[in-house]
Amino acid sequence: MKVNTVVTSLLFLPVIAIAQEKEVQDMSDPLAVYTQAGAGYTDKGLNFKVGRAYDTGSDTTAAMHLIEVKGLLGDTLGWSDSFIVDNSIDSLRYRHFSVNLENGRGSQIDVNYFFDPNAISQEHGDASWSFIQALPKMGPVNIYPLAGVGVAFGKDNLKEDGSFDDGFGYQGGYGLIGLYGKVAITDKFWLNYNPFYVHTLFGDDVYKDNAYGIAESGTLLHEFVVSYQFTPTFNVRYFANWNSNLDIGDGDHRIEFNYQL
């Protein structure tokens, strides 16, 4: 069975540039806050997102809200052979970002809900808090370490006796550490590699032992991205996501178009 992809959504953190909202932001910077709209064509259907930067009331901080809808028309337009792919929405995501412009440190609240089953529930979600720190640039390379904690919940959760609860319930908590890595090939073309390790921290035994697949209490997540900036406000990006129990060929793939408003 494929590993639960709840926390892979954390790998898609948008960037936070150190500038005012009305200025054009550097869309390659994994720390940029800006108002944006985007759409993606994926192996599991269509994704859509919209983000809104807002005035925090401070000259030293910037912040935004972002909402995403994923997996529309997956059976018709996608190419995944997963048995759970259909034409309805796969998942919803809400994120809130903030960044301190003086020290290059950002934080994120991330809430996801998945309508498809995983190893321990018929539907599932998570809510997490994490922080990211920009390190000094090293030639064409930028590194942004990240760490966070979260809680998981689900609908019709598996119990230790093999039966299922009826309705929604809390499952447990997890921790994650990792980094965003960027290599600038040119000023318009760049690559990203973003590895993360996630592991359960507490909860019932079913969750702690099987959160990321049968008998899997943790997993190493990988994301590789190729990006090209057509104009200062428009880019195209290719994403590949996989993990320690799922090779890249069977992972998630998408092409995403993003426009800065």
**Residue 162 has what pLDDT?**
86
Q: What is the pLDDT of residue 157?
A: 95
Task: Provide the greatest CA pair distance for the chain.
Answer: 57
Q: What pLDDT does residue 22 have?
A: 59
pLDDT value of residue 171: 97
Q: Where are the domains of the chain?
A: 6-260
Q: Is the pTM of this model over 0.85?
A: yes
Supply φ then ψ for residue 211, to 5 degrees.
-60, -30
Query: Which pair of tokens denotes residue 9?
Result: 């959504």
All residues at 6 or more sequence positions from 58 whose CB lies less than 8 Å from its CB, including other chains? none
Q: Which residues contact 200 (CB under 8 A, 6 or more apart)?
A: 172, 173, 174, 207, 208, 209, 211, 217, 218
Determine the pLDDT at residue 7. 43
Q: Are strands 252-260 and 36-42 parallel, antiparallel or unpaired?
A: antiparallel
Ranges of residues in the chain with a pLDDT under 70 are 1-22
Question: For residue 10, what pLDDT is reported?
Answer: 45
CA 195 to chain centre: 12
6-260, CATH topology level: Porin (2.40.160)
Q: Identify the pLDDT of residue 83.
A: 76
**Of 194, 193, 152, 200, which Cα lies nearest the Cα of 176?**
200
